[in-house]
A and B are shown apart, each in its own frame.
Chain A
Amino acid sequence: MISANLSAVFYLVSGILFILALRGLSSPDTSRQGNYFGIAGMIIAIVVTFLSIGNFSNSLVYVIIFLLIGGSIGAFIAFKIPMTAMPELVAGFHSLVGLAAVFVAIAAFLNPEAFNLGFLGNIKLASLIEMSIGAAVGAITFSGSIIAFLKLRGIMSGSPIIFSGQHLLNLILGIGIFVLIFYLCKTQSANIFWTVVFISFLVGILLIIPIGGADMPVVISMLNSYSGWAAAGIGFTLENTALIITGALVGSSGAILSYIMCKAMNRSFVSVILGGFGADSSADEKKKNQDQKPVKSGNAEDAAFLMKNASSVIIVPGYGMAVAQAQHALREMVDKLKKNDIKVTYAIHPVAGRMPGHMNVLLAEANVPYDEVFELEDINNDFANSDVAFVIGANDVTNPVAKTDPKSPIFGMPVLDVEKCKSVLFVKRSLSPGYAGIDNELFYKDNTLMLFADAKKMTEDIVKNLD
């Protein structure tokens, strides 16, 4: 058994290691080392917890068994999960953090003596507030992440679910949670505690259902942030520095990512939360109006010819590429082009994919070196000097409407200046609009050649034609 002071010092050390873990991610070179710092921090925190409790009953055996059960499940998932499914996985993991926070809070409420927080029915006021906030945020994270998971997985439709008085209801429930916590402090009643947890579950669901598929990158980042705040709330309850530091880190990390995502879509955080964006219903109508315009379409042969005669090609991948699993075929195509001394780079929009940085991971998986992949602001000026832009599975992020039409819902969103290229190859299954439900002007430009096909099949055909 080690003293409380010594264990507090160790918790601080593990908190610092977590900071270093995030610091490592500033470049891919240091990132792997960063991950090891994180693992070291976790091991220290767990070992110190065992040592500080000291008097092991036979519970210890069970703790280790349960730890290993969870660990094996986690390891199994980590090795099996395809990289395209990362958004769902992260959403799923967020829900687990949330639920774990709820359960720890419940355990602390039922047995405050174990945590040195007072006695059942007479818990220290501050601890009671902290644990109920931790439980509430945890519950919101849990049910919200479940909804996000279902939407990303496609089990639930990505279109927003809206009913009248929705925001008022959320507001009332939100205020209700605070009122209940206030009464909980006065009465210490277990029933009120359970009600707080229950209402919070409900709020989590209600909060995420109105948010459409296009806004999912923001949702995941936001839930990431919530899971951090939940951990911090529990950290205050347990008076544990490692948890407080981690909670603050994760909370601000998620908040920054949400901000970056909102900025990349030119949407305010509030409007994302209020939801309703990316409704499927409005899409059909607009499509009808635009169907008449002439479109140039080509086949793999034309595309191969254009690219072979280019000196520089910029590839613009989007989520469609991931869905079609075309990243490996794409890489093959790029290899062929490079053999012909054609300069190839990749342009990635911040909201390409369903979560921040998703495209980068998919390209990395297909063995694309990360120094050939560029972010929007680094590459946008290059389009004007390039011969071919190869848009594969992306749509809204290339739409020039965002720059020209103030009435468009995506007006002001930073987009890739694809149309400035000498020619644009646009791989797409049909002319249907993207997630934002708006038509893409790019389809009808003179220098655009539409390649109507499945992204993977088209890329493979182009590869054949490049020989």
Chain B
Amino acid sequence: MEIDPFIFRLSIFILSIFVGYYVVWSVTPSLHTPLMSVTNAISSVIIVGAIIAALAGTSENVFETSSTFGFIAIILAAINIFGGFLVTHRMLQMYKKKKVKKK
């Protein structure tokens, strides 16, 4: 009997939870805020769904109901992607060791 592709996706999902579990425990507590902002940014990869939805409109009717939801979702996710990665970057730039102290 053939295995449903869903099972493969479920396997990826569950293994990823384990990977996440071990990776996140190794994150140093002082970087927990950047961890949150970067997880925020990467979860916005949901934008791929938004793009598919938005591009499904036809040339005559770019903004039908379904694709409009896609377009709005693109804006929301894009705010998150740019905002999330940039604010993480800004924070991480501030973490300095004693020796490289500038000011």
Is the beta-carbon distance between A246 and B95 smaller than 8 angstroms? Answer: no
The answer, among B5, B14, B32, B65, for a CB contact under 8 Å with A357, is B32
The answer, among B56, B62, B103, for a CB contact under 8 Å with A62, is B62
Q: When A248-B20, A370-B96 are in contact, do A38 and B38 touch as well, CB less than 8 Å?
A: yes
Is the beta-carbon distance between B20 and A25 smaller than 8 angstroms? Answer: no
> Separation in Å of the A463 CB from the closest CB of chain B?
16
Q: Given the complex, which residues of A lie within 8 Å of B101, measured CB to CB?
A: 367, 369
Complex: how many Å from CA A25 to CA B31?
Answer: 7
Q: When A32-B92, A97-B44, A101-B46 are in contact, do A252 and B86 touch as well, CB less than 8 Å?
A: no
Q: Given the complex, which residues of A lie within 8 Å of B71, measured CB to CB?
A: 62-63, 66
Q: Would you give the 0/1 interface string for A362-385, flagging 1 where the beta carbon is closer than 8 Å to chain B?
A: 001101011111010000000000
> Separation in Å of the A422 CB from the closest CB of chain B?
26
Q: Does B3 contact A (CB under 8 A)?
A: no
The answer, among A70, A71, A355, A360, for a CB contact under 8 Å with B30, is A360
Give residues of chain B (48-97) contacting chain A, Cβ–Cβ below 8 Å. Answer: 48-59, 62-67, 69-97
Is the beta-carbon distance between A74 and B81 smaller than 8 angstroms? Answer: yes
Query: Which applies to chain B's interface (DSSP): helix, strand, loop or mixed?
Result: helix
Is the beta-carbon distance between A256 and B67 smaller than 8 angstroms? Answer: no
Q: When A59-B54, A254-B39, A257-B35 are in contact, do A111 and B84 touch as well, CB less than 8 Å?
A: no
> Separation in Å of the B33 CB from the closest CB of chain A?
4
Q: Does A392 contact B (CB under 8 A)?
A: no
Complex: how many Å from CA A15 to CA B19?
Answer: 11
Give residues of chain A (241-292) contacting chain B, Cβ–Cβ below 8 Å. Answer: 241-254, 256-257, 260
The answer, among B12, B39, B66, for a CB contact under 8 Å with A224, is B39
Is the beta-carbon distance between B75 and A70 smaller than 8 angstroms? Answer: yes
Is the beta-carbon distance between B40 and A35 smaller than 8 angstroms? Answer: no
Is the beta-carbon distance between B73 and A249 smaller than 8 angstroms? Answer: no
User: What 4 A-B pairs come out closest when comparing CB atoms?
Assistant: A70-B78, A357-B32, A74-B83, A114-B56
**Residues of B in contact with A (beta carbons under 8 Å apart):** 5-6, 9, 12-14, 16-17, 19-21, 23-59, 62-67, 69-98, 101-103
A-B contact pairs, 16 of them (CB 8 A): A22-B39, A31-B95, A58-B62, A86-B37, A97-B46, A103-B50, A107-B50, A107-B67, A228-B43, A241-B12, A357-B30, A357-B32, A360-B30, A367-B102, A369-B97, A375-B29
